[in-house]
Amino acid sequence: MSLDPHANRAGPRRLNYETRIFVSALVVAAPGLIALVVVLWNGQVGYKIAAATTVLVFVLTLLLALEHRRRSIYPLRTMSNLLEALREGDYSLRGSNSRRDDAIGEVIVEINTLSQTLREQRLAVEEKSALLAKVIAALDIAVLAFDAEGFLKLANPAAERLLGHPFKQLNGRSADSLGVGDWLQLTEPSIRERSFPGGGGRWEVRRAVFREDGRPHDLLVVTDLSRTLREEERLAWQRLLRVLGHELNNSLAPIRSMAATLGKLLASEPLADDWREDAGSALGVIGDRAEALARFMARYTSLARLPPPRRRKFAFAELTRRVVQLEQRLPVSIDAGQDLEIRADPDQIEQALINLLKNAVDATLPTSGSVGVRWRVVVDRLIVEIIDSGRGLPPSENLFVPFFTTKPGGSGIGLVLARQIIEAHGGTLTLENRIDASGCVATLSLPAHAD
């Protein structure tokens, strides 16, 4: 390949490389050949001897030039074959008799090294591609790839099940004919409801753009949320029913026992002298348990009917100090952050802080420890921490399950209600054991802007 920028310009036709090598060899030998001819024809040898010698030397020179041409061209053709094999993707060929002590040998060594490197890289790519193909095939998530014109080029088995046909029948079909044409316009993850031959429901759709042969292609990843939501709903109902069953059994067991006792008492003849007292005691137990069930249902109703937040601006520091003053059982320290206004429902935020602070004090009273509240702003989030020095969190995964409680006489809705309030405001609530000491840290994260 010529590096001359003017090499492609039109001009006189040049001799090819092989001819130039041959001509160069003749040119190199020409002075000696001419000198020999002059000596022969000017010497004392005869005409025939001079002519024969001249022809013999000329033929020998011609043969040597051809051999020089062949030897000069052979390594170049070898390198050409090696490079052609690389271009065709065949990395198995190697140049022989290559060594580092000559220029051609060094070039062949480098080509051999390049061939080995490309072979190893292709093998690594093929292994990774095979692994990726197996992973995509094993996914229970539909993966669809469309070309620049919106025609399907790839679909994994989950996508085949979703669309109700094997890929051979789907290949080349347009996104509109498959019912996902509008999804190719998405710019961010979206939740959509749609029916397909393989099923309907709610789907999380993610779109990405990749390039192949320099042209943009679209990748759709479609996740079935209905199955996950149904499973989560089933687990939530199991946890809720377990707690509800426990609470109802705690009330119904004594009611059944007292009812049976009253039945036996009233069936005895004659009635005992203190039957009125026993009956009154039994009825009192029944009434207490009925009242407990009524309170339980009232708590459930309040949890299930939490109204949406009524947002307005308010000073967070002032609200926090007011909540701290409501707790009289234990002094609560305040590590005040910056004074700021947030836009939220102050009544609901106050209720969430009251519930969390009450839990912290309840956990700390047996240990005679301390409780503190602090807050700070990180980027655009308000981070509030309620720190206690109690015994820490119990080893349970049911802390946020409605009506689950580890405290005698606890309602089991304080934490659930607090998290429900915080999440309704676009925030999060987490509980973690302290690292520096015994106790727990309740961390709230809320939007800090007041717009």
Q: What is the CATH number of the domain that holds 366?
A: 3.30.565.10
Q: Are residues 342 and 428 in the same domain?
A: yes
Quote the pLDDT of residue 146. 92
pLDDT at 1: 43
Cβ neighbours of 108 (radius 10 Å) = 20
Helix residue spans in 44-183 (DSSP H): 47-87, 103-138, 157-163, 167-170, 175-178
Whether residues 320 and 367 share a domain: the answer is: yes
Query: Which residues lie closer than 8 Å to 404 by C-beta, 6 or more apart?
Result: 239, 243, 396, 398, 412
**Residues in CB range of 299: below 8 A, 6 or more apart:** 403, 411, 413
The tens-digit pLDDT sequence of the chain (451 residues) is 444 544 555 555 666 767 777 777 777 777 777 776 776 666 666 667 767 777 777 788 788 777 777 777 777 888 888 888 888 888 787 777 666 777 777 888 888 888 888 888 888 888 888 888 888 888 888 899 999 888 999 899 989 888 888 888 989 899 988 888 889 888 888 888 888 888 777 888 999 988 887 888 899 998 887 777 666 666 666 666 666 666 666 667 777 777 777 777 777 777 666 667 777 777 777 777 677 667 666 666 665 566 788 888 999 999 888 888 877 788 888 888 888 888 998 888 888 888 888 888 888 888 888 899 999 988 788 999 999 888 877 655 555 555 455 555 444 566 777 888 888 888 888 888 888 888 889 898 898 876 6
Whether residue 323 sits in one domain with residue 405: yes
430 with 349, same domain: the answer is yes
Q: What is the pLDDT of residue 237?
A: 67
> Do 177 and 60 belong to one domain?
no
Query: Is residue 333 domain-shared with residue 423, that is, in the same domain?
Result: yes
Q: Is residue 149 part of a domain?
A: yes
Our count of domains for the chain comes to: 4
The domain that contains 192 carries what CATH number?
3.30.450.20
- Other CB atoms within a 10 A radius of the CB of residue 418 amount to 24
Residue 116 forms part of a structural domain: no
Write down the pLDDT at residue 3: 45
Quote the CA–CA distance of 386 and 239 in Å, as a whole number. 27
pLDDT of 214 reads 81
Residue 13, strand partner residues: none
Same domain, 193 and 270: no
Report the distance separating Cα 216 and Cα 206, nearest Å: 16
Same domain flag for 319 and 433: yes
Domain membership of residue 92 (yes or no) is no
Q: Is residue 416 part of a domain?
A: yes
341-344 vs 332-335, strand pairing mode: unpaired
Instruction: Decide which of 227, 261, 279 is a domain's last residue.
Output: 227
Same domain, 363 and 427: yes
Question: Residue 208, exposed/middle/buried by CB under 10 A (0-12, 13-18, 19+)?
Answer: exposed
| Range of the structural domain that residue 44 is part of | 17-87
Same domain? For 399 and 374 the reply is yes
pLDDT of amino acid 216: 87
Asked if residue 352 and residue 432 are part of one domain, the reply reads yes
Here the tokens at position 168 are: 């051979």
